[in-house]
Amino acid sequence: MIHIGCHLSISKGFAAMGNEMLSMGGDTFAFFTRNPRGGRVKELDSADVEALNVFLREHAFAALVAHAPYTMNLCSDKDRAREYAEECFSEDLGKMEMLPGNFFNFHPGNSLKQDREACIDRIAEILNRYITPDQSTTVLLETMAGKGTEIGRTFEEIRSILDRVDEDKRARVGVCFDTCHVWDAGYDIVGDLDGVLAEFDRIIGLHNLKAVHLNDSKNTCGSHKDRHEKLGEGCIGEEALRRVVTHPLLDGRPFILETPNERAGYVKEIAEVRGWEKNAERYR
Ligand code: FE
Ligand code: FE
Ligand code: ZN
């Protein structure tokens, strides 16, 4: 079965997100581990978190794909920004252990005016400092569109971060495949999805692909723009997204919508994706 959901607001608490996603027809979701614009971090209500844990089990949800704030740049050239990012990573990763067995996804970073190799070293250094071999959370590096100086714009860059992770922590790190980002980065998932997945497998390994961000894109392949579009309304288009959703090599992964939608739009897209699954044979 396909696991599908979207980003939800954490404003009403953890248990409320579970109920909300069930009512929207999904069985996984994403949420920001803190306000991306900074500000004070709320103390977690452990009873509320535990209620969500029970709910997820009862309703057989797939793993959640929590998202670190966009402002978290582990390899910033500014000391304060880097310290904030490190604190953010360690605190939010720690909190994820209250929701055992889920994913914590983040944007690898922006190199700004620095050497990219040095940034890759720095990102891996932070992963090695805070990930423990016995944690239940899997940390995901998101594939990026290559806007500005983003790290993670090629499969090779993601691979080079993974290569620097300590052996005993490697199983706790994976990759989140964002369809809008890989397309914008120059991987032609419309013309040659099989080829892109083969390349991913060769460079990173498909066993490391743990989750998918399912988005259409407002721009052409290789544009390096990162502007998401509703499913079927962008340059990737419905047919290619159908092939992603029903691709046997991506079977079992949680698919998270990050399309520009309000609640009703997400409900519609979740139903659409479930429909694609039902008719999958016709689209092979
Ligand atoms: Fe993201
Ligand atoms: Fe994404
Ligand atoms: Zn994006």
pLDDT of 60: 98
Residues 6+ apart with CB under 8 A from 43: none
Gap from CA of 15 to ligand 2 centroid (Å): 24
3-state secondary structure of 23: helix
Gap from CA of 79 to ligand 2 centroid (Å): 26
The catalytically annotated residue of 3, 7, 34, 67 is 67
Is residue 213 annotated as a catalytic residue, yes or no? Answer: yes
Q: Which tokens in the block code for residue 100?
A: 């055992």
Gap from CA of 100 to ligand 1 centroid (Å): 21
Asked if residues 261 and 8 have their Cβ atoms less than 8 Å apart, the reply is: no
Q: Which tokens in the block code for residue 73?
A: 């740049």
For residue 15, pLDDT beyond 80: yes
Asked if residues 241 and 180 have their Cβ atoms less than 8 Å apart, the reply is: no
Q: How many CB atoms lie within 10 A of CB 272?
A: 16
pLDDT of 280: 76
- What are 88-147's pLDDT values in tens digits? 999 999 999 999 999 999 999 999 999 999 999 999 999 999 999 999 999 999 999 999
Is residue 181 annotated as a catalytic residue, yes or no? Answer: yes
Q: Relative to the alpha carbon of 67, which ligand is closest?
A: 1
The catalytically annotated residue of 3, 82, 153, 181 is 181
- What are 147-185's pLDDT values in tens digits? 999 999 999 999 999 999 999 999 999 999 999 999 999
At residue 25's C-alpha, the angle toward residues 22 and 26, to 5°, is 75
pLDDT of 278: 81
Asked if residues 260 and 234 have their Cβ atoms less than 8 Å apart, the reply is: no
pLDDT of 277: 87
For residue 284, pLDDT beyond 60: no
Gap from CA of 217 to ligand 3 centroid (Å): 9
pTM of the model: 0.97
CA dihedral 71, 72, 75, 76 (to 10 degrees): 40
Q: Relative to the alpha carbon of 183, which ligand is closest?
A: 3
